[in-house]
């Protein structure tokens, strides 16, 4: 008991231990040069820059305080290979060791970025990016296929915007992996299968990430599959500053998944406003035409008062009025019918929205490896992903019944 008590009194707090390691590290490790490839680069408003320096096997966090101007002059970005001179330190809040850069020199473009530029140049020379080959995006699509990860934020953003802007559209969600080695063949198969279904447009999308995260969309085979597709393809991969090979070969590039939803369908509210405006203009044109004919008829009746019987004038006037009434009635019926159809389709879409089903307490289970929906029980130890109304759970099968 005494020994345990003595040990407790001598025990360091986490902060004390971290400070001790930091002091030892900074005292015993001299300033040094480290080279590697930039990943997860960021430059916030503070003027400091933060990134990860990595090679094939390891990585280290890096920071350069007040380094924004230096970074701008060197055009630092993900994929660029650099050498850093600085001191090794510990970031206490996360107990992470890092290098505090005092100088940065650019060595060259990193392997992934060099590979990207090489493939981009070759495919461009082959004509895969030519505007003449691109298929126009339909103005009022009725069937839209979305190829993406079912658990990502991209699909939620797109569905929310489509429901708000154009609720009459039918959406087909094709779940695939969007990251890793197995992602490109999955995306290619999904694209080819969907292309045969007669959809009006296909959206190929995922959220943002590092150049490594987005690398599946720089696959040459995927680029050729997009080029060969008969259905127009919109590529919406990552953030506005991210560019992939898929963006260049697709029929339309959207800077973000949300932007893709806004580009692919019109705004229903604006459409209704335009329809109302057109209806008013058409009705005004009909009224002006009728009024003009009335004036002409009155002029003729006055000019030929003794040659044209007055009852003929009255009959012609009545016929013109009848035509005007019938035109207005037919136009109003057409507009009201369109309004009713839009309302019915909107209600149907809300009932078919998969998020509404999940909201009732149901869930959807996916295979972690293939991304496909599970319809049968799996063996014990199988890793699965459970999609709820709010969020996703990573789980493992304990027992098959």
pLDDT of residue 20: 84
Contact by Cβ (8 Å): 138, 194: no
Contact by Cβ (8 Å): 40, 59: no
Contact by Cβ (8 Å): 350, 356: yes
Strand partners, 236: 205
Contact by Cβ (8 Å): 80, 73: no
Q: What stretch of H or E contains 103? A: strand 96-109
> Would you call 288 helix, strand, or coil by DSSP?
helix
Q: Which domains does the chain have, with CATH numbers?
A: 2-109 (2.40.50.140), 141-264 (3.40.50.2300), 268-352 (1.10.287), 357-396 (no CATH)
- Tell me how far apart the terminal alpha carbons of the chain are, to the nearest angstrom: 50
pLDDT of residue 330: 66
> By C-alpha distance, which of 173, 205, 174 is closest to 190?
174
- Give me the tens of pLDDT residue by residue for the chain, a chain 401 residues long: 455 555 566 787 888 887 888 788 777 777 889 999 999 999 998 999 999 999 888 889 999 999 888 888 888 888 888 999 998 888 767 778 889 899 998 876 566 777 888 999 999 999 999 999 999 999 889 999 999 999 888 999 999 999 888 888 899 999 999 998 899 999 999 999 999 998 999 999 999 887 788 999 999 999 999 999 999 999 999 888 888 999 999 999 999 999 999 999 987 767 666 677 777 777 777 778 777 777 776 776 666 554 455 555 566 666 666 766 776 676 667 666 666 666 666 666 666 566 666 677 778 888 877 777 877 877 777 888 888 877 888 888 888 77
Q: How far apart are CA 144 and CA 138, in angstroms?
A: 11
- The residue to which tokens 């009459």 are assigned: 168
Complete edge-to-edge strand list for the sheet that includes strand 170-175: 170-175, 143-148, 201-206, 233-237, 252-253
CA atoms within a 13 Å half-sphere pointing along the CA-CB vector of 103? 6
> Would you call 28 helix, strand, or coil by DSSP?
helix
Q: What is the CA radius of gyration of the chain?
A: 33
Q: Which two tokens stand for residue 316?
A: 């012609």
């Amino acid at each position: 008991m005494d020994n345990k008590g003595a040990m407790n009194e001598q025990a360091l707090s986490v902060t004390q231990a971290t400070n001790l390691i930091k002091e030892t590290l900074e005292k015993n490790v001299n300033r040094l040069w480290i080279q590697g490839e930039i990943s997860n680069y960021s430059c916030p408003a503070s003027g400091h820059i933060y990134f990860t320096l990595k090679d094939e096997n390891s990585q280290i966090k890096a920071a350069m305080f007040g380094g924004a101007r230096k970074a701008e002059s060197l055009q630092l970005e993900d994929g660029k290979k650099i050498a850093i001179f600085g001191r090794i330190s510990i970031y206490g809040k996360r107990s992470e060791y890092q290098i505090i850069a005092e100088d940065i020199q650019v060595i060259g473009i990193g392997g992934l970025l060099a590979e990207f530029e090489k493939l981009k140049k070759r495919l461009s020379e082959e004509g895969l990016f030519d505007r003449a080959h691109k298929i126009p995006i339909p103005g009022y699509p009725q069937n839209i296929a979305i190829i993406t990860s079912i658990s990502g934020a991209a699909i939620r953003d797109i569905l929310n915007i489509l429901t708000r802007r154009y609720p009459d559209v039918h959406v087909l969600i094709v779940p695939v992996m969007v990251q890793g080695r197995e992602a490109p063949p999955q995306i290619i198969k999904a694209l080819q299968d969907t292309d045969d279904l007669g959809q009006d447009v296909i959206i190929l999308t995922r959220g943002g990430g590092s150049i490594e995260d987005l690398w599946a969309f720089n696959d040459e085979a995927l680029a050729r599959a997009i080029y060969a597709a008969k259905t127009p393809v919109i590529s919406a991969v990552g953030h506005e500053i991210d560019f992939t090979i898929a963006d260049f070969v697709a029929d339309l590039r959207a800077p973000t998944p949300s932007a893709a939803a806004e580009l692919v369908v019109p705004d229903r509210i604006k459409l209704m406003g335009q329809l109302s405006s057109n209806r008013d203009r058409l009705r005004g044109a009909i009224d002006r035409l009728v009024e003009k004919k009335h004036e002409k008829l009155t002029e003729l009746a006055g000019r030929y008062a003794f040659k044209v019987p007055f009852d003929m004038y009255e009959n012609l006037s009545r016929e013109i009025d009848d035509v005007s009434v019938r035109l207005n009635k037919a136009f109003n019926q057409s507009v009201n019918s369109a309004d009713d159809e839009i309302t019915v389709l909107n209600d149907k879409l809300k009932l078919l929205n998969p998020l509404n089903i999940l909201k009732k307490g149901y869930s959807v289970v996916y295979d972690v490896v293939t991304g496909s929906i599970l319809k049968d029980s799996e063996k014990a130890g199988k890793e699965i992903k459970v999609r709820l109304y709010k969020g996703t759970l990573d789980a493992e099968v304990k027992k098959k019944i």
